[in-house]
Structure 1
Amino acid sequence: MPLLTIGINHNTASVELREKVAFSPDKMSDALQQLNSMSEVKGSVILSTCNRTELYIDASSTNNIVDWLIDFHQVNGDDLKPSLYYYSDEEAIQHLMRVSCGLDSLVLGEPQILGQVKQAYANAKEYGAVKGNLDKLFQKAFSVAKRVRTETDIGGNAVSVAYAACTLAKHIFESLERSKVLLVGAGETIELVAKHLADTGCHQMTVANRTRERAAGLAAQFDGQVISLSEIPQTLVETDIVISSTASPLPIIGKGMVESALKIRRHKPILFIDIAVPRDIESEVSELSDAYLYTVDDLQSIIDQNIEQRRTEAIQAEKIIAVESKEFKNWLRSRKAVESIRDYRRASDCARRELLAKSLQTLSMGGDPEKVLLELSNKLTNKLIHLPTKALQEAAEQGALDDLAVIRKSLGLEDL
């Protein structure tokens, strides 16, 4: 059965439509059970994220599957069908590999998708929905993703403001385990910054925010401290890195405040990363010799360079996928040969055992051994050459010279 992919993603559908066909975790079991109960489906994996919903299927047809998808989510087919894409065989193989490597993601090369693909596979495996060629395909996709991450730098460059800020801090301080970080603000961007910092081993974070309750909720996730905005001057004295992102219309940290803190620190440097618009940190801070200030514009320049670098790395990743997908396709073809050989051997052995049983019966009844062996060899030969002979005759009569050549080659005969 062919390998098929049906899906929608951020390139083909709006957020509203993607939300309608997303599979929530509590519905995944029912979805896999229903999908695999179809007669044409041999196995399936459902990948559902905020940016895509995809069905990877070992099936003979997609017609009933699309109808099932529409019915399961109770969506309008006229709205959904134009946004769906379909891949089969080698295209389906390449697509899964590209998805797993982050080449089909909204953010090129993002690493989270591989974990989501692995989770989708684990879910399908748990419900007994993935096996055979589909199982082998996912195992191959995981190994290809590992190879791409090892042999290219597709995911090694920061392409979000939050991640770029943390990467910059890590490059300057090498290790953030002993660095004391002050986060100013408690919104989504600062929360992402905190998560990235925690991933790098930073565990000394203080959150300053106008609303302490909001700051407390964020700080609690990372065992951080909480201060008010008015306490920033005193806290700066013990701070190595300041990352700020608030909605304040006016700067929160001024040149004088920083200058005073540096004097008490005996000019031990402080890194300031201002990712707020309008700015949270006065631009004059950069005039101080021991203060290093980067703004959102500086980070965007880094991000643009990194995106271009990822695009360059993606070219190499695509080459790896082209080779690996072709290799997997060849493996699938070889599997068909294995099945054909097995079936041919089984049929031949069945004929052998049938004729052998009759010969042994004749011998047990006192038959002449020489005659019995001669008859056995003649009948076995006729039995084995009957179908190939018929195929040769039909190919010749129909003028199918290519088929005739293939049959002759398989029988060990020279070309005509």
Structure 2
Amino acid sequence: MRLFAFGINHNTATVDIRERFSFTETQLPVALQDLKQQTGIREAVLLSTCNRTEVYCGIQEDGSQVIDWFSQYRNTSRDLLNTSLYVHSARSAVRHLLRVASGLDSMVLGEPQILGQLKNAYRIAQKSGTLGMLLGRLFQHSFAVAKQVRTDTAISSSPISVAFAAVRLAQQVFGDLSNRTALLIGAGETIELAARHLHENQLGRMVVANRTLERARHLAMAMGGYAITLPEISEHLAEADVIISSTGSDIPVLLASQIQEAVKKRKHRPMFIVDIAVPRDVEAAAGDLENVYLYTVDDLNDVIQENLRNRQQAAVQAEEIIDTQVTHFISWLDSLGAVDTICAIREQALQQRQEVSDRALRLLKNGGDPEDVIQQLAYQLTNTFLHAPSTQLREAASNGDEEFIDVARQLFNLPEIPPQCTRSETVTKPS
């Protein structure tokens, strides 16, 4: 069985093409079972996200029939698929999956979400009955490698999104956020991401302010927060340790005078403010106030660019880890080639043992001398087991095949200089 993988992603396919080949979570089990029924397909895992759709298979035949199935199943021409397709097999497939799991093949370098998506694809394949030993071992290995990359490098420690950078800076100012209150102004995508990051970092309390109360409530409820309108901000401003603002307002929604008054009510406890909006939501003069830490989107971009450089350096370390781990997995994969042979040898030896022991038992039941029977048993078992290799070695010697003989010596762990044996001791064909 061979390892085969192919797919499309954000680097090779436009959104409209990715949409044609995407699968919902409910579609995946049916697609997997249909794929498993195709000739030569032993195992399969399907990964489908907004940025990629990939198929991982254990196959007996050429992989082209899997790609044909993929295009036909999505009712799209093979020619169109070929314009965006990448294909990997054996070592290349292992390396690709390890890079995907570690976030090295993502649109955002080092992003952690893909690992959860891979684990979900693994669970779906497992439940669908399409996960076997090969892919099971490969995916488990990829999870372990992703963990090692995140532990041993700084690939995911430096934020490179505006929302993530804002939350990370808040942590640098306050440390533990579990006893802090955050005021989020706006309800767009950036504020939603900031809310999610704060929630994941165990924020104590969240207040969401928006021009439309319904949108604020929708976001606040999802994060266990409290919703207010923009005019109500003044009533809650002094409660906020962290303020993140991103609205579409043409004028500031927070004045320096409002913030100064709030700091007085806070008894000069520090206030951390991130103004992501353009035009700015927070009056620039607020940055001059004592105990107020004001960052604009330009400040965050400087942090993001520095962190991106850090991630790129960490990615070099991650690639080295992956190179090593690919070799480890391939070594295990190569060892599988000997498993069938080992099993066959053991099965043959067990069968020979059974035949010889049955004969010995018959002799004992017929009154044979136990000592003679044991001697015959030992002789016949040795003779039976060594007959085939002895015959093959004689034939190799007559053909001048020294390499075959050297391999046999290694296989049986024979000494460099063989002990002398007489013709009568040479194993003969079993009777």
Q: Taking structure 1 as the reference length, what is the TM-score of the superposition?
A: 0.89
The offset of 1:295, in angstroms, is 0.5
Match in the other structure for 1:311? 312
State the one-letter code of the partner of 1:23.
F
- Trace 1:259-338 onto structure 2 (pairs within 5 A): 259-338=260-339
State the one-letter code of the partner of 1:285.
A
How far apart are the structure 2 equivalents of 1:24 and 1:395?
Answer: 62
The offset of 1:38, in angstroms, is 2.2
The offset of 1:231, in angstroms, is 2.6
The offset of 1:366, in angstroms, is 9.5
The offset of 1:293, in angstroms, is 0.7
- Indicate if the aligned counterparts of 2:246 and 2:276 stay in contact, CA closer than 8 A: yes
The offset of 1:120, in angstroms, is 0.8
- Indicate if the aligned counterparts of 2:44 and 2:130 stay in contact, CA closer than 8 A: yes
SS of aligned partner of 1:30: helix
SS of aligned partner of 1:323: helix
Match in the other structure for 2:211? 210
Match in the other structure for 1:68? 69
SS of aligned partner of 1:6: strand
Aligned CA-pair RMSD: 2.9
- Indicate if the aligned counterparts of 1:208 and 1:227 stay in contact, CA closer than 8 A: yes
Give unmatched runs, 5+ long, in structure 1: none
CA 1:8–1:395 in 2, change beyond 3 Å: closer, same or farther? farther
Can you list the C-alpha shifts for 1:264-293, whole angstroms capped at 9, x where unaligned?
Answer: 434333211001122111222112223211
How far apart are the structure 1 equivalents of 2:402 and 2:255?
Answer: 87
SS of aligned partner of 1:35: helix
How far apart are the structure 1 equivalents of 2:129 and 2:98?
Answer: 22
How far apart are the structure 2 equivalents of 1:372 and 1:189?
Answer: 83
- Trace 1:113-128 onto structure 2 (pairs within 5 A): 113-128=114-129
The offset of 1:402, in angstroms, is 4.8
Can you list the C-alpha shifts for 1:329-353, whole angstroms capped at 9, x where unaligned?
Answer: 2122223223212212322443454
State the one-letter code of the partner of 2:209.
A
The offset of 1:322, in angstroms, is 1.8
Match in the other structure for 2:420? none
How far apart are the structure 2 equivalents of 1:24 and 1:142?
Answer: 23
The offset of 1:370, in angstroms, is 7.7
State the one-letter code of the partner of 1:209.
N
The offset of 1:40, in angstroms, is 0.9
Match in the other structure for 1:6? 6
Match in the other structure for 1:27? 27
Give unmatched runs, 5+ long, in structure 2: 418-431
How far apart are the structure 1 equivalents of 2:74 and 2:6?
Answer: 15
- Indicate if the aligned counterparts of 2:360 and 2:373 stay in contact, CA closer than 8 A: no
Match in the other structure for 1:182? 183
Can you list the C-alpha shifts for 1:6-27, whole angstroms capped at 9, x where unaligned?
Answer: 1111111111111111111121
2:164 pairs with 1:163: yes
The offset of 1:118, in angstroms, is 0.9
State the one-letter code of the partner of 2:206.
M
SS of aligned partner of 1:251: coil
- Indicate if the aligned counterparts of 1:178 and 1:202 stay in contact, CA closer than 8 A: yes
State the one-letter code of the partner of 1:57.
C
- Indicate if the aligned counterparts of 1:362 and 1:372 stay in contact, CA closer than 8 A: no
Match in the other structure for 2:421? none
How far apart are the structure 1 equivalents of 2:80 and 2:50?
Answer: 18
- Indicate if the aligned counterparts of 2:396 and 2:402 stay in contact, CA closer than 8 A: no
2:229 pairs with 1:232: no
Match in the other structure for 1:49? 49
How far apart are the structure 1 equivalents of 2:311 and 2:349?
Answer: 56
The offset of 1:374, in angstroms, is 7.6
The offset of 1:207, in angstroms, is 1.7
CA 1:349–1:209 in 2, change beyond 3 Å: closer, same or farther? closer
The offset of 1:362, in angstroms, is 8.2
SS of aligned partner of 1:26: coil
**Structure 1 stretch displaced more, 136-145 or 403-412:** 403-412
Can you list the C-alpha shifts for 1:364-400, whole angstroms capped at 9, x where unaligned?
Answer: 8899998997899589747744466447746975x87
Aligned positions, number: 415
State the one-letter code of the partner of 2:12.
T
State the one-letter code of the partner of 2:348.
A
- Indicate if the aligned counterparts of 1:179 and 1:202 stay in contact, CA closer than 8 A: yes
Match in the other structure for 1:104? 105
The percentage of aligned residue pairs carrying the same residue is 42
The offset of 1:197, in angstroms, is 1.0
How far apart are the structure 1 equivalents of 2:198 and 2:357?
Answer: 76
2:210 pairs with 1:191: no
State the one-letter code of the partner of 1:14.
T
**Structure 1 stretch displaced more, 115-124 or 253-262:** 253-262
How far apart are the structure 1 equivalents of 2:408 and 2:222?
Answer: 70
The offset of 1:214, in angstroms, is 1.6
- Indicate if the aligned counterparts of 2:210 and 2:229 stay in contact, CA closer than 8 A: yes
Can you list the C-alpha shifts for 1:36-65, whole angstroms capped at 9, x where unaligned?
Answer: 112311111111111111111111231111
Q: Taking structure 2 as the reference length, what is the TM-score of the superposition?
A: 0.86
CA 1:375–1:227 in 2, change beyond 3 Å: closer, same or farther? closer
The offset of 1:124, in angstroms, is 0.8
State the one-letter code of the partner of 1:165.
A
CA 1:403–1:52 in 2, change beyond 3 Å: closer, same or farther? farther
Match in the other structure for 2:424? none
CA 1:181–1:404 in 2, change beyond 3 Å: closer, same or farther? same
How far apart are the structure 2 equivalents of 1:16 and 1:22?
Answer: 10
Match in the other structure for 1:146? 147
